[in-house]
Amino acid sequence: PRKIFSGIQPTGSLHLGNYLGAVRRWVRLQEAHDDVTISIVDMHSITMPHNPPNLRENIFVMAATLLACGIDPEKSTLFVQSSIPELTEFNWILSSLSTMPRLAQLPQFREKTRLVKEIPLGLFVYPVLQAADILLYKATHVPVGADQLPHIQLAQHLARTYNSCYGETFPVCEAIVENGEASRILSLQDPGQKMSKSIGDLLATINLADSPDLITKKINSAVTDFTSDISYNPNKRPGVSNLVTIHSQVTGQTIKSVVDEATTLDTAKYKERVAEAVIEHLSPIREEIKHHLARRNEMIHLLEVGASKARQQAQHTLSDVKQRLGLGTSG
Ligand code: ATP
Ligand code: MG
């Protein structure tokens, strides 16, 4: 059976790209009876300066959002990363198998540190922590965006290195990279780049928690082109095609049927239709997010149950690892 692991940073609300490209896939994997473990990776959120009350709040918002999107704690293991102390212990062990040049060449590190003078050590080593997460739960498959592939390769490398030094222990995980249309939802303001939470332009990104009015406003002001009819051609007409993709994703209709139904509409009218479809799809999710946020104690309980499931596995892995490494006195 496949053992799926994925992590998500508690950055507050998700945007439509995260939802269609990532979270909805986790829900599908969970429905397909794969063993799915999802960690809200708060330890990763402190690698850059952060605001503690915001972090705490964002952990709850992320948990509520994942639950609202259909992550079912009965089927999946959902927990907060920092509640597993074994992880940082294991992280030290994997750090000792990692080299500085290998980490320094990772593209995301180079990108994120371009403007930073004194690079925080946490930012440098965080791919090791990511690998520690994957290995600790002995994941076989890791669903990620394409930008994460170098990090998955590091996890694979560390699994192989460990296995060859200390004996066959860790599966060499495989990345599951989505390549359907949902894998790249574009910015509404600049269809040359993907929708992302780090875009400054507030109109570019639809958040799951956005009000219907705000969603309408954002979609109405989406950048398209000077052709007024609706067609799907991601290369020549990225803006309109992005709306078609979103429309098809939220209605479950094929691209073709969405386009066929829009033949009599111009772009302005079509935007109204897309906005309606997005609102209809997101409204129940938005209500569910509120519902969960109003029941914080239930969420705390449920995350603790998740953490104790995860922790059992973590302890099992770590005690084997420590024994093989000759650490401590027991075993
Ligand atoms: P950042 O700009 O900080 O990198 P992000 O918006 O890219 O943030 P991440 O937290 O990096 O979000 O990604 C979470 C998950 O959502 C990843 O699996 C990623 O591949 C997926 N994802 C992010 N943006 C999109 C998008 N525009 N379309 C489809 N999937 C996306
Ligand atoms: Mg990203």
Are 266 and 274 a contacting pair, CB within 8 Å?
Answer: no
Most trustworthy range by pLDDT among 25-34, 198-207, 297-306 = 297-306
Instruction: Note the pLDDT tens digit of each residue in 239-281.
Output: 999 999 999 999 999 999 999 999 999 999 999 999 999 999 9
pLDDT at 116 over 90: no
CATH number for the domain that contains residue 262: 1.10.240.10
**Has residue 20 got a pLDDT over 80?**
yes
For residues 139-154, give the mean pLDDT. Answer: 93
What residue owns the CA closest to ligand 1's atom 3? 198
The residue whose two tokens read 């309408």 is 216
What is the pLDDT averaged over residues 62-68?
97
The total number of structural domains that make up the chain: 2
Residue 271 is among the residues annotated as catalytic for this protein: no
Q: Is 194 a catalytic residue?
A: yes
Report the chain's mean pLDDT, rounded to a whole number.
95
* Domain-embedded: residue 227: yes
Whether the CB-CB separation of 18 and 209 falls below 8 Å is answered with: no
pLDDT (tens digit per residue) in 180-192: 888 889 999 999 9
Give domain status of residue 117, yes or no: yes
Give residue 149's pLDDT.
94
What is residue 293's predicted lDDT score, i.e. its pLDDT?
97
Residues 197 and 176 in one domain: no
194, β-bridge pairs:
186
pLDDT digits (tens, 9 = 90+) for 276-293: 999 999 999 999 999 999
Residues near ligand 1 (Cβ within 6 A): 8-9, 17-18, 21-22, 144-145, 183-185, 194-198
* 331 assigned to some structural domain: no
Q: Please pick, among 3, 117, 138, 197, the residue that the annotation labels catalytic.
A: 197
Indicate if 134 and 16 belong to the same structural domain.
Answer: yes
Q: What is the domain-level CATH number for residue 18?
A: 3.40.50.620
Test site for ligand 1: of 11, 18, 148, most ligand atoms within 8 A of the Cβ: 18
pLDDT score recorded for residue 12: 82
197 is a catalytic site residue:
yes
pLDDT at 317 over 90: yes
pLDDT of residue 35: 93
- Asked whether residue 54 falls in the same domain as residue 101, the answer is yes
CA distance 224 to 243: 9
Q: What ipTM does the predicted assembly reach?
A: 0.97
Q: Residue 34: what pLDDT?
A: 84
Please give the full DSSP string across 247-263, using - where no structure is assigned: HHHHH---HHHHHHHTT
- Contact residues for 327 (Cβ-Cβ < 8 A; gap 6+): none
Q: How far is the CA of 43 from the centre of ligand 1 (A)?
A: 18
Instruction: Indicate which ligand has the atom closest to the C-alpha of 179.
Output: 1
- pLDDT tens digits for 124-133? 999 999 999 9
The rounded distance, in Å, linking the Cα atoms of 109 and 264 is: 48
Which residue is closest in CA terms to ligand 1's atom 21?
Answer: 18
**267 & 148 share domain:** no
Residue 40 is part of which domain span? Answer: 3-182+296-325
> For ligand 1, what atom is nearest to the CA of residue 199?
2
**Is position 33 within any domain?**
yes
Q: In terms of Cα–Cα distance, which of 113, 133, 132 is closest to 121? A: 113
